Structure 1
Amino acid sequence: MEALREAEAELTVYVHPSNAADVPRAVARQLSALLFSYEERFDGVLLAHETTLVDEDIKDDGSEVKGKKKIRAKILNGLVPYFGVRVHANLLIFSPQPDMILEGKVEMLSKESIHAIILGVFSVAIMSDDIREKFKFKRKSDGGRFVSRSDRQHVIKRGTMIRFLVKGVDTEMNCHITGSLIPPHTGSMRWLSVHDAEYAAEINSGNRRSRNVSIKIEQNEQEHRILKNEDSMVKSERAHKSRKRSIENR
């Protein structure tokens, strides 16, 4: 998918001293807290990350020596002494831009609009003015469908994977996308794979990368869910201890 890009970054992650016993895990938790939300520093939404702590040592003259196992972290001044850890990160970022061609699954549609979802996370709205005229809306018991007047086999309904042009992106709504089905090579992906030579050649060359990306995203979704569950358990435990102390103090 055109909006997916891989990037490398040198980051400094700030870790609380209580997590000093397992710094790699603490770093992973900090980055996982950013998953699936728009970040200006990345110019997109972080979908996956792989991190490596930067091993370094410092000579007396202040120059760095690479390859050492010892990691020096700088303590920050303040009430809470967080320490900064240098990290090399490989990032997978979703960064849609106007005029890109993207793909999504139709979740809901009516005569006025088509609503789809990308990667199971990001919403897309295609209004009636941006659906080419050759598509006619027909009401059915399953909610309706758009059928092409030139080829009745070209159908867009709930569950259809579609290919569309990006018109605009609202980053304040976590990359909510406005799309269009007016340009050529857009519409039902199944129909295009048979009747559109350009698209057929494109998907044949991109299948392997798409599978790898899906695996990475699924792994990080699981990690994100685990992180949220762990945080909720910690909050629950703290609340329980607080109530226990208040009872004992009475």
Structure 2
Amino acid sequence: MEGLKECEANLVVHLHPSKAKSASEAIFSELSSLLFTYSETFGGVVLAYDPNIRSNLGKVLPGIHPHFGVSLKARLLLFNPKPNMLLEGEVVKITPQSIHAVVLGFSSVFIGDEDIRDEFKHKIKSGKEEYVSKSDKKHKIKVGTILRFVVKSFDEDILHIVGSIADDRTGCARWMNKNLDKWTQSDSTTRKTKNVDGEGLQT
């Protein structure tokens, strides 16, 4: 999935002298405090870490708040969605005006009516709301569906994504994986039509 990346970081963790006997535990605690928060330093939301402590305990530095430093190198898994990236998330709510989903279990997604392409029609079946494709009734979006969508924006403070399924590459991921040739051909036809009209041509 787009939006995920790995990086290596050289870090120094500063610990209170009282943590000297359990430094490893204290280091993991400090690194855990970074999880599922956006870090400008690393350029993304920290999802996981794999530390490699490279030095013994440093010298205790005196002061109002004495501490010692431990150097380490850590591999980080980051999540940083950008506009126009294709992501997937699980649908958690459907309304006549919107689709709500969650990516990776923590980042909420909102797709408004203006970003749901006309191909999909809102319906209520057995008391449950869903969007059904006019061209193929088996292409449905409902609660529990893994939805493939395009990122419009990402709020780093609240980890909220505004998405869109106006693009032909978006919809129910399971249906699209089973009908790869069908939607790829549809997308190709759309591009050809634009070129005939004189739009989308490279100069």
How high is the TM-score relative to the length of structure 1? 0.70
Normalized per residue, the structure richer in strand is 2
For the 8 Å contact 2:107–2:160, the answer to whether it is kept is yes
Out of 157, 172, 182, which is 1:188 matched to? 172
Residue 103 of structure 2 is aligned to residue 118 of structure 1: yes
- For 1:17-60, what per-residue CA distance to the aligned partner results, in whole angstroms no more than 9, with x for missing partners? 111112222111100011111121121111110101113xxxxx
Runs of 5+ unmatched residues, structure 1: 56-70, 201-250
Structure 2: unaligned runs, 5 residues or longer: 185-203
Amino acid corresponding to residue 9 of structure 2 in structure 1 = A
The AA in structure 2 aligned to 1:196 is L
Q: CA offsets per residue over residues 101-139 of structure 1, 9 Å max, x none?
A: 000000001111000001111100000100000100002
Q: Which moved more, 1:22-31 or 1:190-199?
A: 190-199
On the 8 A contact 1:193/1:199 being kept in 2, the answer is no
Larger helix percent: 1
Matched, 1:3 2:23: no
The two structures, once aligned, show a CA RMSD in angstroms of: 1.7
Residues 3 and 102 in structure 1, CA contact (< 8 A), matched pair in contact too? yes
Of 91, 94, 105, the match for 2:76: 91
Structure 2 counterpart of 1:170: 155
Find the structure with the greater CA-based Rg.
Answer: 1
3-state SS, counterpart of residue 27 of structure 1: helix
Partners of 2:57 and 2:69 within 8 A in 1: no
Pair 1:40 & 2:40 matched: yes
Percentage identity across aligned positions? Answer: 45
Q: Which runs of 4+ in 1 moved over 2 A?
A: 74-78, 140-143, 197-200
Moved more, 3-12 or 17-26: 17-26
CA contact (8 A) 2:91 2:101 kept: yes
Give the Cα separation in 1 of the matches to 2:33 and 2:57: 24
Going from structure 1 to structure 2, the CA distance change for 1:142 and 1:93 (only over 3 Å counts) comes to farther
